[in-house]
Amino acid sequence: MRGEEIPRETIELARRILEIGPLCRFCLGSFAAEAAPRDVEEWVKGAALLEILGGPEEGCLICGGLIEKRLRRAVEDLMGSLREYEFDTFKAGSRIPGWIVERADEVRSSLGIETARALKVVISRYVDRVVSEGLGKEIDPDQADLRALVDLGSGRVSIEVKPVLVAGRYRKLVRGIWQSRRPCPSCGGRGCPECGWR
């Protein structure tokens, strides 16, 4: 994304936000998510705004650098784990520590920003995009074969596999074959030495 593609209003919004303190590309991008251009991912928009405005490379008032620090590692771990599965579609989710959400809300309310996107959504979309491009898999929010969760608080990832339902039919063609287990004729199913106590 180039600087000339970003409207002046978006740059001014980012300048107002950065006056409070340094932000990472994810946190800044979440505040500018609804600003034009809307077809650009939040983290790309945040990185472009930081480049235009000369924002700091490290440190973040909201997440304390936690997102940049743990997200890359968590995505690498997730992609390594996903290589062990056979699947076509997936959807990622994220869990963010409560203190990050509280700080983001404080900054949002102090500046009067009403159109910011939740950091949880921004991070989930980032994980979706990176994993999709890295593994060549399709993102399907409704009927995903796998659901992945990235927990930025602990740095752990978890995977939930959609259960596979195998259906079959049984046709009884001959008499004398029991459909259920036949009780012992000696004890009636209570258990005895003859049936092995079953």
Instruction: List the CATH number of the domain containing 81.
Output: 3.30.2300.10
Based on the structure, what is the number of domains in the chain? 1
Task: Find the mean pLDDT for residues 180-186.
Answer: 80
26 neighbors 67 (Cβ within 8 angstroms): yes
21 pLDDT tier (thresholds 50, 70, 90) = confident
Per-residue pLDDT tens digits for 60-110:
889 998 998 899 899 999 999 999 999 999 999 999 999 999 999 998 898
For residue 49, give the H/E element and its range: helix 42-53
186 domain-assigned: no
pLDDT(144) > 80? yes
138 domain-assigned: yes
Count of beta carbons in the 10 Å neighbourhood of residue 70: 18
State what percent of residues in the chain have pLDDT above 90.
Answer: 38
166 domain-assigned: no
Determine if the peptide bond prior to 97 is cis (ω within 30°): no
* Residue 69 structural domain: 3-161
How far the first Cα of the chain sits from its last, in Å, is 71
φ/ψ (deg, to 5) at 156: -95, 155
177 domain-assigned: no
48 domain-assigned: yes
36 domain-assigned: yes
79 domain-assigned: yes
pTM of the predicted model over 0.85:
no
174 domain-assigned: no
